[in-house]
Structure 1
Amino acid sequence: MLGIDVGGTGSRAALEPLDAPFGNDRRLLEGGRVAVASAGSTVLDVAAALVEATTREWPDVAITAIGVGATGLASLVSAPDAAIGRFRAAPDAPVPVALAVDALTAHLGALGGQAGAVVAVGTGAIALGTDLDAVWRRVGGWGHLWDDRGSGVWVGIEALKAAIRTHDGVTTDAAALLSAAESRFGPAPTWPGELLTRADRAGVIAGLAREVAALAADGDAAASAIMRTAGTEVASTLVAALDPELPRRASWTGGMFGAAGAYRDAFEAEFARLAPGADLHAPLGTPLDGAVRLARLIAAGDVPAQHPPFVWR
Structure 2
Amino acid sequence: MTPAAAGFVVGIDIGGTGSRAAIAPLGGGPRFELAGPRVAVTADGSTAGELAHGLLAGLRAARPAEFAAVAGCGVGATGLASLVADPAALAASLRASLADSGAASGESGGRVGGPAPAVAVAIDAVTAHLGALGGESGAIVALGTGAIAFGSDGREIWHRVDGWGHLLGDRGGGAWIGRRALEAALLAHDGVDASGAALLAAARARFGEPASWPAQLYTRDDRAGVLAGFVPDVVALAADGDGAALAIVSAAGAEAARSAAAALVPGLAPRVAATGGLFGAGGALVERFRATLAELRPDAELRAPAGDPLDGALRLAERAARGELVARAPSLWLG
Taking structure 2 as the reference length, the TM-score comes to 0.90
Distance 2:52 2:240 in 1: 38
Q: Residue 76 of structure 1 aligns with which residue?
A: 83
Query: Are 1:17 and 2:25 counterparts?
Result: yes
Distance 2:317 2:88 in 1: 17
Shift of residue 101, structure 1, vs aligned partner: 0.5
SS in 2 for 1:113: coil
Whether the 8 Å contact between 1:181 and 1:208 is mirrored in structure 2 is: yes
SS in 2 for 1:246: coil
Whether the 8 Å contact between 2:130 and 2:309 is mirrored in structure 1 is: yes
Query: Are 1:45 and 2:50 counterparts?
Result: yes
Whether the 8 Å contact between 1:70 and 1:100 is mirrored in structure 2 is: yes
Distance 1:33 1:146 in 2: 20
- 1:221 maps to which of 218, 243, 250: 243
Q: What CA deviation, in whole Å up to 9, does each residue of 1:49-69 have, x standing for no partner?
A: 101110011112122210000
Distance 1:38 1:165 in 2: 31
Q: Residue 6 of structure 1 aligns with which residue?
A: 14
Whether the 8 Å contact between 1:52 and 1:90 is mirrored in structure 2 is: no
Whether the 8 Å contact between 1:128 and 1:136 is mirrored in structure 2 is: yes
Shift of residue 181, structure 1, vs aligned partner: 1.1
SS in 2 for 1:173: helix
Query: Are 1:279 and 2:301 counterparts?
Result: yes
Shift of residue 82, structure 1, vs aligned partner: 1.2
Query: Are 1:187 and 2:209 counterparts?
Result: yes
Whether the 8 Å contact between 1:40 and 1:76 is mirrored in structure 2 is: yes
1:252-291 matched pairs, under 5 angstroms: 252-291=274-313
SS in 2 for 1:90: helix
Whether the 8 Å contact between 2:139 and 2:260 is mirrored in structure 1 is: yes
- 1:203 maps to which of 196, 215, 225: 225
Amino acid at match of 2:145: T
Q: Residue 115 of structure 1 aligns with which residue?
A: 137
Amino acid at match of 1:80: P
Larger Rg, first or second structure (1 or 2): 2
Q: What CA deviation, in whole Å up to 9, does each residue of 1:28-86 have, x standing for no partner?
A: 10012111021111111111110111001111212221000010000101111012221
Which structure has greater helix proportion? 2
Whether the 8 Å contact between 2:148 and 2:160 is mirrored in structure 1 is: yes
Shift of residue 146, structure 1, vs aligned partner: 2.0
Amino acid at match of 2:241: G
Shift of residue 133, structure 1, vs aligned partner: 1.4
1:46-65 matched pairs, under 5 angstroms: 46-61=51-66, 62-65=69-72
Q: Residue 309 of structure 1 aligns with which residue?
A: 330
Shift of residue 172, structure 1, vs aligned partner: 1.2
- After superposition, the CA RMSD in angstroms is 1.0
Shift of residue 301, structure 1, vs aligned partner: 2.2
Query: Are 1:85 and 2:106 counterparts?
Result: no
Q: What CA deviation, in whole Å up to 9, does each residue of 1:223-277 have, x standing for no partner?
A: 1111011100000000000011111111111011012110000000000000011
Shift of residue 155, structure 1, vs aligned partner: 0.3
Amino acid at match of 2:65: D
Amino acid at match of 2:235: A
Shift of residue 114, structure 1, vs aligned partner: 0.3
Q: Residue 108 of structure 2 aligns with which residue?
A: none
Distance 2:210 2:140 in 1: 37
Q: Residue 74 of structure 2 aligns with which residue?
A: 67
SS in 1 for 2:83: coil
Distance 2:134 2:297 in 1: 22
Q: Residue 105 of structure 1 aligns with which residue?
A: 127
Taking structure 1 as the reference length, the TM-score comes to 0.97
Structure 1 window deviating more from structure 2 (247-256 vs 105-114): it is 247-256
Whether the 8 Å contact between 2:117 and 2:321 is mirrored in structure 1 is: no
Distance 2:152 2:14 in 1: 21
Distance 2:223 2:95 in 1: 31
Shift of residue 7, structure 1, vs aligned partner: 0.6
